[in-house]
Amino acid sequence: MASGNAIRGSRVGAGPMGEAERGESAPRLRLSFWCSNGHETQPSFASDAQVPDTWDCPRCGFPAGQDRENPPDPPRTEPYKTHLAYVRERRSDADGEAILAEALAKLRGEI
């Protein structure tokens, strides 16, 4: 015997009505954007919306512009640096040895 739930398997808003039920869709503007790898992306915007200068390429993630011949440059990515690499940028080896000698002297004096 089937259960008494008549709306099982359906969702809110589901139905055969389509556009007539939801109303008219807003007028759209479809523009092309190109990235430095030559990928074309065509997002659609509302006709009265402000169009951005760049759009992220869904294939490679680089920024894409509307000028096919002159796309935006890809962002420069810095390699990962360890904490020690940052310390070495701020201090020379002589500074590091002086700080180490000062800390060892302090420890030896307290012990």
* Known binding residues: 35, 39, 57, 60
Q: What is residue 14's predicted lDDT score, i.e. its pLDDT?
A: 61
CB 33 within 8 A of CB 60: no
Structure tokens at 48: 């009265």
Q: Which residues of the chain have pLDDT under 50?
A: 111
Q: What is residue 6's predicted lDDT score, i.e. its pLDDT?
A: 61
* Known binding residues for Zn(2+): 35, 39, 57, 60
Q: What is residue 62's predicted lDDT score, i.e. its pLDDT?
A: 94
CB 99 within 8 A of CB 111: no
In sequence order, what are the residues at sequence separation of 6 or more whose Cβ sits closer than 8 angstroms to the Cβ of residue 36? Answer: 62, 71, 72, 73, 74
